[in-house]
């Protein structure tokens, strides 16, 4: 039996390396324990990032997860192992003990309908309000687990955890590959979790950290001003929950420097990856895109009119008031009045201050 367990462990390790054979390995574990299904599943509060079960249709698994979401107040199996350290084995007696309350009725009904009420389980890894669990599910025909089956399952579990660790290491290496590709883009880009923890960054992003425009505290992305930082972290959390599309932030700072425009998007989840956390890109716009977006930014941030924004940008590019007036077919006095309004809205008192501020933006 030891040789069979070792061979199964190798099959799980190859699943981690190959990335497409997890269901085959889970099926082999189920067969070795005389069970219908093997399961590898991840839980975080309110979410089930992955849930792999052999020989159940994906839409069946999705419907199950949609109902219970890994909630320990609904899911009997999660409740049974919630407070456990790794490798504690839980089985039918534990499901019965913790699942007596009416809150677990739905889970019991669903398990009965799917014919997976019996089995045993354990935690493979746990930490930071999340864990990875391994289990076998048994049909009515399979019967309940006994001491021998649970002992066999306990002997298999460490090999599966080793495979899980292999996959986690490979997924981390994937971030390095992604960073290498992004370096070629030549933009300030941070790769972050939804919590704001930075996984990787380009050289241009490191320059923003060095200049103080961005900051990193204990590895977490941040901004010098609390208002901006809260907005950034909230946007990361929203993108995690809404994976499609791009969210754009205008980071205002202290008003002495031009605002930064930041795009946030979530990379798509990969099949047969644990996907415990989202990979989010925080992209600080390039100089070209700044030029294109400049009038809109000035209107959105400072409340300038279309004319005021155009005049301010023309000044920053070195155009004289006379030439601006001629191009706009208006008088110099009109341009002067519009600049006076612009000074008040932007918070400067002289033309040189306005030109300095906007010049920084146009040089980015």
Could you give the C-alpha distances from 220 to 195, 199, 230, 232, 260, in angstroms and in order?
A: 8, 9, 12, 11, 19
Diameter of the chain measured on Cα atoms: 94
How high is the pLDDT of residue 155? 97
Q: How far is residue 119 CA from its own chain's centroid?
A: 32
Q: Is residue 178 predicted with pLDDT exceeding 70?
A: no
Determine the average pLDDT of the residues in 73-100.
91
Q: How far is residue 238 CA from its own chain's centroid?
A: 10
Q: pLDDT for 17-26, tens place per residue?
A: 877 899 999 9
Determine the average pLDDT of the residues in 121-133.
90
Label the pairing between strands 130-138 and 118-127. antiparallel
How high is the pLDDT of residue 285? 77
How high is the pLDDT of residue 214? 95
Percent of the chain exceeding pLDDT 90 equals: 45
Per-residue b/e over 273-302, b at no fewer than 16 CB within 10 Å? ebbbbbbbbbbbbbeeebeebbbebbeebb
The CATH code of domain 185-285 reads: 3.30.450.20
Q: Is residue 185 predicted with pLDDT exceeding 80?
A: no
User: Which one of 3.40.50, 3.10.450, 1.10.10, 3.10.180 gives the CATH number of domain 290-363?
Assistant: 1.10.10
Residues 6+ apart with CB under 8 A from 241: none
Averaging pLDDT over each range in 53-57, 58-62, 343-347, which range is the top one?
53-57
Determine the average pLDDT of the residues in 217-223.
93
**Cβ atoms of residues 293 and 283 within 8 Å:** no
Count the Cβ atoms, other than its own, within 10 Å of residue 63: 12
How high is the pLDDT of residue 288? 56
Question: Do 2-167 and 185-285 come out as alike in CATH topology?
Answer: yes
Determine the average pLDDT of the residues in 118-131.
90
Q: Is residue 139 predicted with pLDDT exceeding 80?
A: yes
End-to-end alpha-carbon separation of the chain, Å? 66
Across-strand partners of 91?
120
Q: Is residue 287 predicted with pLDDT exceeding 60?
A: no
Determine the average pLDDT of the residues in 199-226.
92
- Please check whether the domain covering 2-167 is classified as CATH 3.40.50.170: no
Task: Give the residue, 229 or 1, on which the prediction is more confident.
Answer: 229
Cα(207)–Cα(214) distance, rounded to whole angstroms?
A: 9
Q: What are the residue boundaries of the structural domains of the chain, listed by start? A: 2-167, 185-285, 290-363
Determine the average pLDDT of the residues in 332-344.
91
Arithmetic mean of pLDDT over the chain? 86
Determine the average pLDDT of the residues in 179-190.
72
């Amino acid at each position: 039996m030891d040789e069979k367990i070792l061979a199964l462990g190798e099959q799980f390790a190859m699943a981690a390396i190959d990335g497409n054979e997890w269901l085959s390995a889970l099926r082999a574990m189920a067969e070795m324990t005389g069970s219908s299904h093997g399961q590898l599943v991840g839980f975080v509060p309110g979410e089930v990032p992955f849930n792999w079960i052999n020989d159940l249709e994906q839409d069946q698994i999705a419907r199950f997860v949609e109902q219970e979401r890994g909630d320990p107040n609904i899911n009997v199996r999660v409740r049974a192992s919630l407070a456990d350290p790794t490798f504690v084995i839980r089985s039918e007696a534990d499901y019965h003990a913790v699942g007596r309350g009416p809150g677990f009725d739905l889970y019991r009904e669903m398990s009965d309908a799917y014919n997976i009420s019996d089995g045993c389980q354990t935690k493979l890894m746990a930490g930071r309000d999340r864990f990875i669990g391994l289990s076998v599910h048994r049909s009515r025909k399979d019967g309940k687990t006994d001491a021998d089956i649970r002992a066999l399952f306990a002997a298999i579990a460490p090999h599966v955890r080793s495979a899980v660790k292999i996959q986690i290491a490979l997924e981390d290496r994937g971030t390095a590959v992604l960073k290498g590709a992004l370096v070629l883009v030549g933009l300030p880009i941070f790769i972050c979790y939804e919590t704001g923890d930075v996984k990787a960054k380009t050289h241009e992003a490191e320059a923003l950290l060095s200049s103080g425009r961005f900051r990193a505290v204990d590895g977490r992305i941040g901004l010098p001003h609390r208002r901006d930082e809260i907005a950034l972290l909230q946007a990361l959390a929203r993108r995690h929950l809404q994976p499609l599309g791009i969210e754009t932030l205008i980071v205002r700072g202290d008003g002495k420097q031009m605002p930064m425009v930041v795009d946030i998007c979530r990379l798509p989840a990969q099949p047969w990856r644990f996907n415990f956390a989202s990979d989010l890109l925080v992209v600080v716009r390039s100089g070209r895109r700044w030029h294109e977006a400049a009038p809109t930014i000035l209107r959105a941030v400072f409340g300038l009119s279309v004319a005021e924004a155009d005049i301010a940008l023309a000044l920053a590019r070195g155009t004289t008031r006379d030439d601006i007036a001629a191009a706009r077919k208006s008088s110099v006095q009109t341009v002067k009045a519009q600049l006076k309004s612009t000074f008040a809205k932007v918070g400067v008192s002289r033309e040189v201050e306005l030109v300095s501020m906007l010049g920084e933006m146009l040089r980015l």
